[in-house]
Structure 1
Amino acid sequence: MADLPKIMTAIEISAPGGPEVLVPCQRPVPVPGPGEVLLKVAYAGVNRPDVIQRKGLYPPPPGASDLPGLEVSGTVVAVGDGVDGTEIGARYCALVSGGGYAEYCLARFDQCLAVPATLDMAQAAAFPETLFTVWHNVFERAYARDGETILIHGGTSGIGTMAIKLGKLFGLMVIVTCGSDEKCNSAKALGADHAINYNDADFVEEVKTLTEGQGVHIVLDMVAGSYVARNLQCLREDGRHVTIAVQGGMVAEINMAQVMMRRLTLTGSTLRPRSAQFKGLLAQEIHANVWPMVAEGRLRPEMDKLFALADAAAAHAHMESGDHVGKIVLEV
């Protein structure tokens, strides 16, 4: 740590509110504890949870940085006790529990993935949050297997675009919903087999038609609320419904007799509050099952737009406009 600066520039949430509350600040450069590395941040991903935190609705878990930012790419500049297998200057991307919108960020080493030479650092920063979320929810919680069909809401979001690409790599038939014909075309260009404009058509009826009345095996739901009952109508017998966000409301009314008669599974998860041990195990799974495809160039995050770190407010405004396709990333 001797030749590192003591103070860094970061973006903090000055008060709960709109994008304008994201302001530059000066903070001490953090010191890595046991099991941690300090990364000099190259890029930081922007995610929906950052927006919710900015509004004061998603406080960081105990012990996490109050700075927004859940994923970064960068180079190792300091190493905590008990960290073996890396060296100063090594390139990693990491899932972090906060602190990404800064020049330096702490990461647990077991939540870091080495950035292969084939991957640029901006793309690397766009991987962890969506990749960890999609892998865990689609493949571990919903038990997706090749030959199955999945319905993904929000097909052009960061999560949606990753779910399309990962689904196709693992042999799923992918149906998505989007809010415009342009976004439907973008989703199909990314590999979605079918894209439904939910403003023009009833996605329940469209899914029935596309699956010849069978329904889908899995729904990946980011909406919740009134969508849940409709999602269940899209599922075939023994179908699995996985909720990962509640943008349409936290309360749903469903017919439990349908759940019983058709043996449906309802599950869901949120990543940030999970234990460090769990996230470390998830990183191992991804390293074994997905990261070789990244190294080979077969999987890349869909990139929307780069903003400078100082323009984090503009990045959030762009995300909230809903115009993006794929990932928004801050260049540090």
Structure 2
Amino acid sequence: MAIPEQMHAIDPDAPGGPEVLRLVERPVPTPGPGEVLIRVAAAGVNRPDVLQRKGGYPPPPGAPSIPGLEVAGDIVAAGEGVGSEVIGQPVCALLAGGGYAQYAAAPWGQCLPVPEALSMIEAAALPETLFTVWTNLFERAYATDGDWVLVHGGTSGIGTTAIALGQLFGLTVIVTAGSDEKCARAREIGAAHAINYRTEDFVARVKELTGGKGVAAVLDMVGGDYVPRNLQCLADDGRHVSIAVQGGAMATVPIFEIMRRRLTLTGSTLRPRDVAFKTLVADELHRTVWPHVEAGKLRPVIDQVYPLSEAAAAHARMEAGDHVGKIVLEVGR
């Protein structure tokens, strides 16, 4: 099938509300050295896309202005240094941008094969949260078989992915969520415990659940005044990993308590990391996680699917905060 010169994409001229996400015509990208061109079947929607739309999270240098950090589809062209034998392969990929479109260029090293067990919609919902949870919970927080961990935003894409990986790798996952209904869903998905942060003090509840010991790691996307409370949830030698600051970018923490209990505070952002790092993560996921994906044991929780032309509705759904799991845009095959 011939590759067209133009494609439909979502590429707003100026920041704004969801209504700025309208279909426009854009040139089909040309894959650079080490890249492939993917005919996009589906694209995942993530909170950084919402921040970018509002003007608060510009794409890193060299990334397209088109939002979208993950896609699934078929490879239709290969850039210099990538063998032509990859053409026709179904893949999902982590991108620095460009996913809300009919075609997207991706580094070959950031692509993972789509196995029979997954639909393209499911595959598109995996890369961003898998890369994020794996690098932060398992690599930075060293979570290992037998550990108890606390994950905020338990029904978000990140939260549901953390629950799923926790089940596969022997973690006991405690989550927080904002309603009894969401807590019930988190437990259905596989969380060992779910705490309604609006009606319960999660610090007291974590201490109660762990017999006063605390958890080995906290995965936090709230920041602000959650950080000192999270530290109270940690066991001695515990690790606190920050991945977003939805509740505030500054925190006051008790330094002597960190020293006395040998706590570790760390964090990361994924999008600005270079291709070499993301390729290493992709290789590790392929080796450690992908066998579970291929066996049908790991699949994302899908909240809702919208056509690309209804990206505005997808963003409105995410901002309303009622979703459980991933929101996906269906682009077509």
User: What TM-score do the two structures reach when normalised by structure 2?
Assistant: 0.98
Asked whether the equivalents of residues 67 and 100 of structure 2 are also in contact (C-alpha less than 8 Å), the reply is: yes
**How far is the alpha carbon of 1:87 from its aligned partner?**
2.8
Q: Which deviations, in whole Å up to 9, do the C-alpha atoms of 1:284-316 show, x marking residues without a partner?
A: 000000001000001000110000000000000
Equivalence map 1:1-332=2 (5 Å):
3-84=2-83, 86-332=85-331
* Contact 2:78/2:84 (8 A) holds in 1: no
Give the stretch that moved more between structures: 75-84 or 120-129: 75-84
Report deviation, 1:234: 0.3
Listed one character per residue, the Cα deviations across residues 119-171 of structure 1 (whole Å, up to 9, x for unaligned) are: 11100000000000000001100001110100000000000000001011100
Letter in 2 for 1:309: L
Tell me, in whole angstroms, the C-alpha distance in 2 between the residues paired with 1:3 and 1:320: 38
What is the Cα deviation at residue 86 of structure 1? 3.9
Q: CA deviation at 1:88?
A: 2.0
Query: Could you list the runs of 5+ residues in structure 2 that have no partner in the other structure?
Result: none
1:38 is aligned with what amino acid?
L
Deviation at 1:210, TM superposition (A): 0.3
* Conserved? CA contact 1:15–1:21, under 8 Å: yes
3-state SS in 2 of match to 1:135: helix
SS at match of 1:136: helix
Question: For the residues of structure 2 that align with 1:252 and 1:86, how far apart are their CA atoms?
Answer: 51
Counterpart code for 1:194: H
The residue type paired with residue 296 of structure 1 is A
The structure 1 segments of at least 4 consecutive aligned residues displaced by more than 4 Å after TM superposition are: none
- 1:192-247 per-residue CA deviation (whole Å, 9 max, x = no partner) reads 00000001100000001000100000000000000000000000100000000000
Letter in 2 for 1:262: R
Structure 1 residues 18 and 261, CA gap change in structure 2 (3 angstroms): same
Structure 1 residue runs of 5 or longer lacking an equivalent are none
The separation in 2 between residues aligned to 1:35 and 1:303, in whole angstroms, is 31
- Measured after TM superposition, the shift of residue 85 of structure 1 is 7.4
Q: Residue 11 of structure 2: SS of its match in structure 1?
A: strand
User: What CA distance in whole angstroms lies between the structure 2 residues aligned with 1:28 and 1:208?
Assistant: 55
Q: Does the 8 A contact of 2:300 with 2:326 survive in 1? A: yes
- Separation in 2 of the partners of 1:84 and 1:258? 54
d(CA) in 2 for partners of 1:89 and 1:148?
41
C-alpha distance in structure 1 between counterparts of 2:284 and 2:31, whole Å: 25
Deviation at 1:117, TM superposition (A): 1.4
Give the TM-score normalised by structure 1. 0.99
Aligned-residue Cα RMSD (Å) equals 0.9
Local SS of the residue matching 1:13: coil
- Check the 8 A contact 1:14/1:23 in 2, yes or no: no
User: Do the aligned partners of 1:242 and 1:267 also contact (CA within 8 Å) in 2?
Assistant: yes
CA–CA separation in structure 1 for the residues paired with 2:142 and 2:84: 32
